[in-house]
Structures are given as structure tokens and as C-alpha cells.
């Protein structure tokens, strides 16, 4: 039996006349890793700020651990939110941050934090304002992991983290999650990098939920068919097409759904190629954007 950690019903947030989160319904279950995905400005940070009591909703119901999160200290104590540009007092060093952390997080594991400091080669005694962009992000990632909060949010925690450090983060996250299960919500544009980590996907677009599904189901939910344009078009006629690319006489069409065995055999006989769709490709199709471009730019940063 699953236990619901957070539930939103008709949750709405407006900034003036602009509706950033538009009557969304979703729930977060205990012991799951969620990917909260979507284009820039989709509403991901706003949803996380609502869930962590940093913003008040304008409408709908929101319960986290059974209560509205804002102004309930007993709820807030069980949460950890790591923002993209986490701020700390200017004169603090990472050592100060980790010394203060147990005051805010009852499950804080100082030994784990120490091991992560070594993994990330973080200078403990250097002032926060002197840290590099990546080192500053590492401070947030360490707080997020070692807090072992029951509900942890990582909102694009990667700014400036190089590929080696990002993979250390993913590895430590998975290892620690296996030993200390909790609910983790990860918002990122580096979708393919985290695809294997995610157990459930919530895809947001313009303040609305486009997809709320088990990651395993999402992964197998679309197929790309490539080959001679006229043959491909005939093959996909009457199927739900979610993406289409053409080059000269060739085309590549992505359809929603799997092909059964007879259909696969028929495709092979027609000389068509079938390819699995990556989570990132699927999300690009669904939101009609090139998140891959964003991801590459960020990975290169």
C-alpha cells in the first residue's frame, strides 16, 4: 500500500493576472523519485515553492503530510528544498552551513555530509562568496542529500556542476535512497542524464499537467518509425502521431504507443526501422520544444 505524502487538488497560483499554476491535480507518494519536468517558465519552481510553504496558493487545496504546508512548522521540518541559486549568509563557509544544518533537519547525517565533501572536493573553510559556481551548487546538493528529509526537492541543482560531479550526485542519491527511502522531487532539463533515476514523471506545460505517469510506462509509450517517406506515412496512417521529421524522401515519425509483434514484423518487411524513444525525445515531442538544446547548453556550462 502506498502512502500519499502530498496532494494537490485544483491547485492554482497567479502572479497578478498571470496564472502560473492552473488548477492542477497531482499527488506525491512515499518512497518514490519524481521528475518534475517541463519547459522554461512551465511552473515547476512555483509548484515546488507552493509545496514547501514558500508561496500561498490562490485557489485549490494543498496538503503536505496531511496539512497545508505554509505556516505549519511540523510539516516544514520534514521538507528540504534546494534551489538553483541557493543563498547563504555572505560570511558563512560550507563548514558553517553543515554545522547549522542539524538545527533544520532532524535526520541530518554529518558522516554522510563529510563523505560527500570529500567526493565533491569541496573546500570547507573557504567563504561562500569565494566559491566557484559549481562548488556553491555542491554545497546545496550535499545539504539536500545529507538532510535525508522525508520530502526533498532539488530544483535544477546543477548550475556549474561538471559531468563528473553530476554523476557522483546521481550515484550517491541512488545509493542513499536505497538505504534510506524517501520522496525526492527532481526538476531538471538534463532529462536523459536522470532518466534512469526517475520512477515517476510529472510533465508541466504552461501551468498545466501534460503527463503524470510511471516512468517505466512513459519510456515504452512511444515508438519512432523511419524509412522511405511514402512507406512510413502509409504505415502510420490512423495512428496517433506525436512527432514528424522529414529529410528529402526519408521521414521519421514518432507515434504514441507500442507496436505489437505482427506490426513489428510488417514494419521489418516494409524495410522500416523502429527505434525506442528516449524520455527526453518524448518530452520534446509532447511540449513541442527542444529541451535537448537547453540540456546541451547547460551540460557545456
Ligand X SMILES: Nc1ncnc2c1ncn2[C@@H]1O[C@H](COP(=O)(O)OP(=O)(O)OP(=O)(O)O)[C@@H](O)[C@H]1O
- Residue 137 CB, shortest distance to ligand X, in Å, is 15
**How far is 64 from 29, CA to CA, in rounded Å?**
11
Q: Does 166 bind ligand X (CB under 6 A)?
A: no
Q: Does 44 bind ligand X (CB under 6 A)?
A: yes
**How far is 164 from 44, CA to CA, in rounded Å?**
26
Give residues 46-105 in contact with ligand X (rule: CB under 6 A). Answer: 46
Q: Does 288 bind ligand X (CB under 6 A)?
A: no
Q: Does 32 bind ligand X (CB under 6 A)?
A: no
Q: What contacts 99, CB < 8 A, 6 or more positions away?
A: none
Please name the residue ranges forming H helices in the chain. Answer: 44-51, 73-76, 94-104, 110-120, 133-146, 163-179, 191-194, 215-219, 229-236, 261-269, 279-287, 291-300
Applying CB under 6 A, the span of 44-52, 67-75, 175-183, 267-275 interacting with ligand X comes to 44-52
Q: Does 157 bind ligand X (CB under 6 A)?
A: no
Grid look-up 520522496 returns 183
Q: Does 227 bind ligand X (CB under 6 A)?
A: no
**How far is 235 from 251, CA to CA, in rounded Å?**
12
Q: Choose among 261, 260, 243: nearest CA to 252.
A: 243
* Shorter beta-carbon distance to ligand X: residue 38 or 227: 38
* Shorter beta-carbon distance to ligand X: residue 35 or 38: 38
The answer to whether 23 touches 11, Cβ cutoff 8 Å, is yes
Q: Does 15 bind ligand X (CB under 6 A)?
A: yes
Q: Does 20 bind ligand X (CB under 6 A)?
A: yes
- Residue 297 CB, shortest distance to ligand X, in Å, is 13
Q: Does 285 bind ligand X (CB under 6 A)?
A: no
> Contact residues for ligand X (CB under 6 A)?
15, 18, 20, 38, 40-46
Amino acid at each position: 500500500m502506498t502512502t500519499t505524502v502530498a496532494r494537490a487538488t485544483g491547485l492554482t497560483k497567479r502572479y497578478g493576472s498571470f496564472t502560473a499554476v492552473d488548477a492542477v491535480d497531482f499527488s506525491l507518494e512515499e518512497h518514490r523519485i519524481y521528475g518534475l519536468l517541463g519547459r522554461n517558465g512551465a511552473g515547476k519552481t512555483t509548484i515546488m515553492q507552493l509545496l514547501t510553504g514558500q508561496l500561498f496558493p490562490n485557489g485549490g487545496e494543498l496538503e503536505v503530510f496531511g496539512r497545508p504546508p505554509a505556516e505549519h512548522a511540523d510539516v516544514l521540518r520534514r521538507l528540504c528544498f534546494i534551489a538553483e541559486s541557493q543563498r547563504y549568509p555572505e560570511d558563512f563557509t560550507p563548514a558553517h552551513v553543515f554545522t547549522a544544518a542539524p538545527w533544520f533537519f532532524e535526520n541530518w547525517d554529518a558522516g554522510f555530509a563529510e563523505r560527500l565533501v570529500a567526493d565533491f572536493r569541496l573546500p570547507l573553510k573557504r567563504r561562500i562568496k569565494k566559491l566557484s559556481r559549481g562548488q556553491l551548487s555542491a554545497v546545496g546538493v550535499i545539504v539536500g542529500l545529507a538532510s535525508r528529509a522525508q520530502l526533498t526537492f532539488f530544483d535544477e541543482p546543477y548550475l556549474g556542476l561538471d559531468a563528473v560531479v553530476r554523476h557522483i550526485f546521481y550515484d550517491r542519491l541512488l545509493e542513499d535512497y536505497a538505504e534510506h527511502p524517501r520522496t525526492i522531487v527532481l526538476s531538471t532539463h538534463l532529462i536523459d542524464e536522470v532518466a534512469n533515476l526517475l520512477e515517476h514523471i510529472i510533465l508541466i506545460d504552461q501551468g498545466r499537467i501534460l503527463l503524470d505517469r510511471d516512468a517505466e510506462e512513459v519510456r515504452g509509450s512511444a515508438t519512432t518509425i523511419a524509412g522511405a517517406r511514402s512507406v512510413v506515412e502509409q504505415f502510420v496512417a490512423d495512428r496517433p502521431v506525436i512527432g514528424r521529421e522529414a529529410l528529402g524522401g526519408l521521414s521519421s515519425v514518432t507515434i504514441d504507443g507500442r507496436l505489437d509483434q505482427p506490426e513489428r514484423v510488417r514494419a521489418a518487411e516494409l524495410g522500416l526501422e523502429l527505434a525506442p524513444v528516449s524520455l527526453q525525445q518524448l518530452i520534446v515531442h509532447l511540449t513541442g520544444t527542444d529541451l535537448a538544446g537547453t540540456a546541451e547548453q547547460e551540460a557545456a556550462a
